[in-house]
Amino acid sequence: MSREADPGAPTPSWTWSEAEQLEVASSFDLETFDSGFIDNPYPAYRALRHHNPVCKLPDGSYFISRYRDLVTIFQDPERFISDKKVDFKKKFGDSPLFEHHTTSVVFNDPPIHTRMRALMTPFFSPHALATLGPRVETFVDGLLDRVADKQRFDLMTDFAQALPLNLVGDMLGVPVDERARLADWAVLILGALEPSLTEENFEKGCDAVDEFKEYLRALIASKRSSKGPRDDFDVLGALVDAEALDGKLSELELLHNCIFLLNAGQDTTTNHIVNGVEALFRFPDALAKLRESPELIDTAVEEMARLESPLQIGNRKCVHDFDLDGHRIEAGAFLHIGIACANHDETMFADAERLDIERFPNKHLAFGKGIHTCAGNALGRLEARVAIGKLVARFPRLTPMGPLARGSRARFRSVLSYPMATN
């Protein structure tokens, strides 16, 4: 995939011929993508939707690209399972990464998934979020004060990363001066899910799991010995208090689901915020409209999640032979779920390559669908609304001072830096 498109253009700039689209769709391989695909995967995704919607990859897995096919898969958790023990054993062996990615809630199915999720769901209830809202606003205001003093700042490291990192830090009871390492661990652990994994990244991912587990064991011991009242958002403390209840998490489950909370709550929300702001600058009419009508922030955040889905590619395992809209998928097949690809499906979203902050309804799949819908999606939405809404309102002359720099991951729409000036 060597074809490139201009990621900064307000309208699709790719001019691939039909023959070129067919070539890309027939030779697509998640293990050999280049920097052009990382910068702008959407032309390749369009070619797949139009010419190879159930694409069999060289390793025997499938890439699923159309919206209606993803909905079919999401709504059939008995046929398309999340348990990847067989596949992850091949990839990770008997390693800390295998232990983590087969123990956390996201890669388990009922009844294990049901039990784990039930223990964590109360922390993301409407009541919990209503209590949390003022905390988010106060923290964002403090970040913006520091940004205003600096005038030149990095949207990723100085702003977007700090909000979810500190909320997750509060959930786990991590001291403020020890939270920076959490973000580094998240990137290394999530990075191991990429289709192509180097030996160096494998070893770093394993080390990150071990280090995080060791750190959490000390926190858990402290929670067990603490007899004082818990903060309303002390997730780790509440899970420790529930150890005597039926359906409790085992210690291993507790450790790995705390790691999962970090990964899901910090990495994706951070990238959602930065990619959302970048989209506003790419589509200045949308930015002007949001400044004129700040009440549009709710639909704007939904549209940002659709246009630049933080989780670009999910996965499932097909356990029974299945005919997916005329395409045969055999039992045992590993499926790459093209969430970002489906969110650009023209049959579902008119003018799908444009940021339309008034788009409604917006039935995007950025947070999944069905029983594995992201448990913390309401919290992520809250953080993005407050962060982006307040940033745009506070700095009417906010200006990018350089291009957005992306990481090398295909499964996540990751960002390394995005330099800004406030005036």
Q: For 379-418, write each residue's pLDDT tens digit.
A: 999 999 999 999 999 999 999 999 999 988 899 999 999 9
**Confidence tier at 242 by pLDDT (50, 70, 90):** confident
Is residue 96 included in any domain, yes or no? Answer: yes
Partnered with residue 336 across adjacent β-strands are: 63, 315
Residue 415 per-residue DSSP state: E
Instruction: Give me the pLDDT at residue 14, please.
Output: 52
Please check the confidence at residue 191 and state whether its pLDDT lies above 90: no
The per-residue DSSP string of 245-264 comes to STTPPPHHHHHHHHHHHHII
Instruction: Give me the pLDDT at residue 245, please.
Output: 63
Question: What is the CB neighbour count within 10 angstroms for residue 19?
Answer: 7
The per-residue DSSP string of 48-64 comes to HHHH-SEEEPTTS-EEE
Is residue 361 included in any domain, yes or no? Answer: no
Q: Tokens for 7, please give them.
A: 């990621």
Is residue 350 included in any domain, yes or no? Answer: no
Element (H, E) at 318: strand 313-318
Mean pLDDT across 288-311: 98
Mean pLDDT across 9-22: 67
Q: How far is CA 69 from the centre of its chain?
A: 20
Mean pLDDT across 416-422: 97
Instruction: Give me the pLDDT at residue 386, please.
Output: 98
**Confidence tier at 15 by pLDDT (50, 70, 90):** low
Instruction: Give me the pLDDT at residue 73, please.
Output: 97
Cα–Cα distance for residue pair 257/237, rounded to 1 Å: 13
Instruction: Give me the pLDDT at residue 226, please.
Output: 81
3-state secondary structure of 334: strand
> pLDDT of 208-219, one tens digit each?
999 999 999 999
Q: Taking CA 72 as the corner, what is the angle to CA 71 and CA 73, rounded to the nearest 5 degrees?
A: 90
- Only one residue has tokens 């909320």, namely 167
Cα–Cα distance for residue pair 6/54, rounded to 1 Å: 26
Q: Tokens for 218, please give them.
A: 């000390």
Cα–Cα distance for residue pair 225/409, rounded to 1 Å: 40
For residue 151, the enclosing domain spans: 83-311+366-421
Question: What is the CB neighbour count within 10 angstroms for residue 77?
Answer: 16
Is residue 71 included in any domain, yes or no? Answer: no
Structural domains of the chain, count? 1
* Domain CATH number, residue 235: 1.10.630.10
Cα–Cα distance for residue pair 175/54, rounded to 1 Å: 47
Is residue 122 included in any domain, yes or no? Answer: yes
Instruction: Give me the pLDDT at residue 5, please.
Output: 38
3-state secondary structure of 210: helix
Cα–Cα distance for residue pair 318/269, rounded to 1 Å: 29
Is residue 184 included in any domain, yes or no? Answer: yes
Tell me the Cα Rg of the chain. 21
Cα–Cα distance for residue pair 245/192, rounded to 1 Å: 34
**Confidence tier at 234 by pLDDT (50, 70, 90):** confident
Task: Give the residue among 422, 394, 271, 337 at the shortest CA–CA distance from 64.
Answer: 337
**Confidence tier at 184 by pLDDT (50, 70, 90):** confident
Please check the confidence at residue 121 and state whether its pLDDT lies above 90: no
The mean predicted confidence, pLDDT, of the chain is 90
Q: Tokens for 90, please give them.
A: 């091949």
3-state secondary structure of 315: strand
Q: What residue type is assigned to position 212 of the chain? A: F
CB-side neighbour CA atoms (13 Å) of 25? 22
Is residue 354 included in any domain, yes or no? Answer: no
Is residue 338 included in any domain, yes or no? Answer: no
> pLDDT of 90-112, one tens digit each?
999 999 999 999 999 999 999 99
Mean pLDDT across 115-126: 85
